[in-house]
Amino acid sequence: MRREDGRAAEAALAVGYLALTAGIAASYAAPATGYELSIYAATPAVTWAALAVAGAVSVGVCLSDERYLAPAVLLAALGAATVAGLPLIRGYHFYGRADSLVHLGLVRSISVGNDPLRLFYPGSHLIATSLAKVAALEVTRAMMLVMWTYTLVFFASVPLCVWFLVPDRRALAVGAFSAFLLLPINNVSTHQHFHTYSIGMLFVPFVIYVVFTHLIGGDARERAVKRVADGSGAIGRGTVGLDDTVAFSVGSRKPVPTSYLLPLISIALVLVHPQIALNVVFLFGGMVVTQHAYRRFRPDNVLAEYRLLTFQTAFLLVVFVVWVATHEWQFVNTAEAMIESVTEFAAGEGSTTPRVESQSESASSIGASIQELFVKLFGVGAIYSLLAAAAVLGRVTGYLGPLEGRGSRRSDPDTAKDVTTLFFAGILVLLPFFAAHFVGSISTYLFRHVGFLMMLATIFGAVGVRYLLADESPLSGLGSRSAETRVGSSSARFTEVLPEARSVAAVAVVVLLLSLSLATVFPSPFVYLSGSHVPEGEMDGYERAFASQSGGSPVWFGGVRHTSDRYEVALYGAESAPWDRQVNPAVIKSSPVPDRAMLDGLPTYYANHPEEIVRRDHYFVVAEADRQREVLAYRELRYSADAFEAVEAQPDVGKVRDNGELTVYFVDIPSDTFPESPDEDAATVPGG
């Protein structure tokens, strides 16, 4: 692949693209026919082999022949996009359980005319509704497309941010491969399905890149920050050729109108998820304070010359406050819980990370250690976090100098160092806010913010990787020149001795990191979780079960670990939504049934329930997803295989419906007295 004519690289790329095409075709030709516990195991092995070939070819070409950097990175991008889009390619009806089912109901409510602005985070819901109407798609598929599109935005934005900080083609490739790792997705609190916080988090790198260009796009003061490709947004005539030397005009062109673009992005950010917007407010706030401090106390420093973020930060804060003030019902509870948790912890009455402790106990119960889970879920992210910390601290302190490698288009002053310093100040302001989520009940949100930090670590960690790949030592001002020369010469001698071995090792390391990271993008038994696939049969089974209720006093619904409420919202909307919509038939949910009740007898369990109102006939619903989740993914931690088998053999329990994905049992309580319902409107509906 090092031949000067490039034919070997071209041949390798051809093989890579053909392999990727074959892998996608194989995956498309094997659509899901039922619930899939693991999308990895259910996807044909040919697809994974093809993706491995494409990844190895892409990395190998990137390292060996930079003339083919663009098609090589594109090959890897298409491979990563294929992994992220597997639910779409394999024809899933819907992907995402729990909150995603609620969002499905909200999108359907918007599509029938309900006011979306009464929702706390309507941004992605509006996009899904518009896509479904314009493209004539099912709402479920439109929502999966929205999540996939935001993932592609993340793939594109991260390398742009890295290119800004280290403006050469190799850095662009490193940033792209770093983005393909999808480190912000941890499957604890951030997910690769329609989850509004995760969507907003994947959108933030685009916001950061616009802020980068805003900072260096000009200033009202006399002195201007000079940087090649400084955000002027214009390329001079005759400056673009077909080689890798691209010259951008500076100074004479009009700056990019980020003053007009950023407010629109700020509004979009608040609409997608206000919590993400608040995180960005803290980040920007630290940068603004630093900018004003330099202008006040060190006006001669180059940091005093950058365009201020004051107006943009104030605008985002005002939009956030106005939006929250009109949706107080959602935000105030979280704020009060945070204050209470921090106060209790300060008084010595609270505990740290109770959810982490609970998850650790559950993992130990099924034979998995918390250390194993950490390595699988956060191992690659931890490496990038260390690299990010080293890169940021090295640049801020001057330990690391600017890289002036091939393809570099950097000019004085060192813009990357200055912008990194501003972002470092913003991160210092952001960290105490995230640390507050380490204690009490709000620790359930901790891993959301871990995902946000992983998003930042992806950008700055990629900068650290680029420094590791530097041809020359990036150290500046530390030690004698002779010491640096010795380090450089030693590296050169090693490269001469084992050039091919180093390339092969680099390819192996990158493919390994990609494999380990992408193996945890979707939940699966590999991380002791069940897949989030919702097959059409399961949704259809719930809809038919709801419709089969008789008038007067509808049968209640019970289930395994969860009840029917989220499916009710997904199909009809709900009274708990911020708009009023009649639900017919009304669904009455009961609490989840424990394992022992399934073994000892459901009629006895309901007849002797401590709550009098629950002592009535029930529909007991068991999905195929429930069986596989509890028996295979959770290894019978709370529900055994025997418990599922015992239900059908119990007296006074009859199978009402079974379509292969959802089984509905009727539990008859002979001594049923049907006590008065606390919600008369919910208990009395027209016949279904």
User: Tens of pLDDT along 379-392?
Assistant: 999 999 999 999 99
| Helix (H), strand (E) counts: the chain | 27, 6
Q: Which of 209-213, 329-333, 556-560 has the lowest mean pLDDT?
A: 329-333
Determine contact, residues 166/430, Cβ cutoff 8 Å: no
Packing angle, helices 139-165 and 446-468, rounded to 10: 40
The Cα–Cα gap between 42 and 418 comes to 48
CA dist 606 and 20 (Å) reads 54
In this prediction the pTM is: 0.86
Confidence of residue 325 (pLDDT cuts 50, 70, 90): confident
Q: What is the dihedral of CA 118, 193, 154, 276, to 10 degrees?
A: 40
Per-residue pLDDT band for 403 (boundaries 50, 70, 90) equals confident
Taking alpha carbons only, the member of 82, 97, 204 closest to residue 143 is 97
Residue 327 banded pLDDT, cuts 50, 70, 90: confident
The pLDDT value recorded for residue 67 is: 87
Q: For residue 232, what pLDDT is reported? A: 36
- pLDDT for 76: 95
Q: 455 and 204 in contact (C-beta within 8 Å)?
A: yes
User: In whole numbers, what is the pLDDT of the chain averaged over residues?
Assistant: 80
Confidence of residue 538 (pLDDT cuts 50, 70, 90): very high
pLDDT band at 561 (very low <50, low <70, confident <90, very high): confident
Structure tokens at 680: 């008369």
Closest listed residue to residue 412, CA positions, set 274, 685, 228, 217: 228
pLDDT level of residue 216 (50, 70, 90 thresholds): confident
pLDDT of residue 231: 36
Distance CA 612, CA 630 (A): 29
Give pLDDT, residue 398: 85
Evaluate if residue 199 carries a pLDDT over 70. yes
Nearest to 51 by CA among 83, 73, 25: 83
The pLDDT score that the predictor gives to residue 21 is 97
Cα–Cα distance list, 399 to 383, 392, 393, 568 (Å): 20, 10, 8, 58
Q: Confidence band (pLDDT; 50, 70, 90) for 577?
A: low
